Amino acid sequence: MSAVIEVDALRVRLGRREILQGISCRLGVSGAGKAIGLLGPNGAGKSTLIQTLLGFHKPSAGRARILGFDCHTQAREVKARIGYMPENDSFIGNMTAVAFLRLMGEISGLPKAAALEKAHEVLFHVGLGESRYREIGTYSLGMKQMAKLAQAIVHGPELVILDEPTNGLDPAARQRMLQLIKEMKEQHGMNVLLCSHLLTDVEQVCDEVVILKDGQIVHQADLEAERKSNRRFVQLDVIGDDRGLAAALREVGAEGVSEAPGEWRIVLPADVEIGSLWRVASRERLQIRKLTHRRDTLEEIFLKAVGHIRRTPGDTPAEVPAHGRL
C-alpha cells in the first residue's frame, strides 16, 4: 500500500535560510486511518514542512507527495484530498458557523445542498450544534478551535493536517478534541498529521511519530510497536559507589545506563525478575533509594532525539543515526 506522505530529499529555503535540509521519510499507509505525530523544538521546521505539504512553499530541491500526488506540481489534486486546521485563529468573522462551513465545503468541491447538509452534520459532530447560527467572531477560543476542526473535515478529506489543535483548550475540551481526532482515524478512516508541542496529546492519539530538529528528521518511531513492546524499564536511584553496577547488571541479563550520579535507567528483559536488581545492589553494596517501573515515554523518545538526554538502555545506536536522517 502507498504511503500517505512521502518526502524525498526535501529542501526548503526561505530567503537565505534553509529551513528543511534534505529530509526524507514515508509516513502512514493510504486508507489505513493512522495518525502521525510531528514533533520538534521551536524552529525545527515543523510548520515549514506542513506548509510545504500544503503547497504554500516551493521546495528548493527534492519533492513531497501526498497520497501519490506531488505537493507542488499537482497542488490542486493534493488540496482536494486534504483538510487543514491552522494553528492561529482563522475564520471569517462576520459569518455564522453554518455559513462559514458551507462556504468552505463548497470551495472544497461539495455541491450546494451537500455542503449545507455537511455543515450542519459536522457542527453537531464537534459539539457546536446549538451555536451553529452564531457568528464565529463571537465564539470562545475553545469553540473557535472546534470550528476550525469542523472546517477541516467538512468535505471528508483523506488526510487532515492539524497544527496545534489543543492550543488554548481547557482539560475537558482538550480531551474532547483528542477524542474527535481518534474518531476521525478509527471510525472515519481519515489519516491525521498532528503537529503539537504537547507530547501527551501525540502519545495519546498517534500511531507514528516523526521528530524534527534543525530542519532534519532526527527520529521516526512507530508508537504502536513501542506500546506493544514488552520491554520493562526501571528507574533506579542508588547511594554508594556505583561504578561496577553496569557490569553487574549485564551479568544478570539486564542493561543500564547512568544518567546522573546515582541515577540509573535499566531495561529488564522479560525473563529477568525485578528481585535480581535487589540482589545486584546488595552485592555491589549500594543503597536503593528509589525503584520505579516505567516504559519509554514519548517524552523520553523526544528528549533523546533532540539530544537533551542520553540513550535509553537497550536502544541500538542505529536508531538515531549520526547524520540525523532515517
Partner 1 sequence: MAVYRRGYQRYDGAITSHFARLMVMPRFSWERILSQRFVVILMVFSLFWPLLCAGFIYLSNHSELWQGFGGSIKKFLAINGNFFSIFMNVQSTFALILASVAGPGLIAPDLANNALPLYFSRPLTRWDYILSRMIVLLGILSLVTIVPGMLLFGMQASIAGGDWFMSNWFLGTGIFIGFTLYIAMVSLVAMASSAYVKWRVVAGALVLAFFFLLAGAAEMVNSIFRVDWASALNPTYAINAVWKGLLDVEIADDKPGAWECATVILGLSGGLLALLARKLRAVEVVK
In the complex, least distance from residue 304 CB atom to partner 1, rounded to whole angstroms:
31
Distance between CA atoms of residues 2 and 54, nearest Å: 19
Distance between CA atoms of residues 298 and 304, nearest Å: 10
In the complex, least distance from residue 106 CB atom to partner 1, rounded to whole angstroms:
4
Distance between CA atoms of residues 50 and 31, nearest Å: 20
Distance between CA atoms of residues 180 and 131, nearest Å: 18
Compare residues 81 and 219 and give the one whose CB is closer to partner 1. 81
Burial letters for 11-25: b for 16+ Cβ neighbours within 10 Å, e otherwise?
Answer: bbbeeeeebbbbbeb
In the complex, least distance from residue 58 CB atom to partner 1, rounded to whole angstroms:
11
Do the beta carbons of residue 185 and residue 25 sit within 8 Å?
Answer: no
Compare residues 93 and 253 and give the one whose CB is closer to partner 1. 93
In the complex, least distance from residue 176 CB atom to partner 1, rounded to whole angstroms:
14
Compare residues 65 and 118 and give the one whose CB is closer to partner 1. 118
In the complex, least distance from residue 102 CB atom to partner 1, rounded to whole angstroms:
8
In the complex, least distance from residue 61 CB atom to partner 1, rounded to whole angstroms:
18
Compare residues 123 and 298 and give the one whose CB is closer to partner 1. 123
Compare residues 54 and 223 and give the one whose CB is closer to partner 1. 54
Cell of 256: 543500564
Distance between CA atoms of residues 110 and 280, nearest Å: 67
Cell of 181: 481526532
Distance between CA atoms of residues 291 and 265, nearest Å: 10
Compare residues 149 and 218 and give the one whose CB is closer to partner 1. 149
Q: Using CB under 8 A as the criterion, which residues of the chain lie in contact with partner 1 when the complex forms?
A: 14-17, 51, 54-57, 75-76, 79-80, 82-84, 86, 88-94, 99, 103-111, 114, 117-118, 120-122, 124-125, 129, 137, 151, 153-156, 161, 188-190
- In this structure, what DSSP letter does residue 38 have? E
Do the beta carbons of residue 82 and residue 66 sit within 8 Å?
Answer: yes
E-strand stretches of 67-215: 69-70, 82-85, 159-163, 191-195, 208-213
In the complex, least distance from residue 146 CB atom to partner 1, rounded to whole angstroms:
13
Compare residues 57 and 265 and give the one whose CB is closer to partner 1. 57
Give the count of beta carbons closer than 10 Å to the beta carbon of residue 237.
14
Residue 304: beta bridge partners?
none
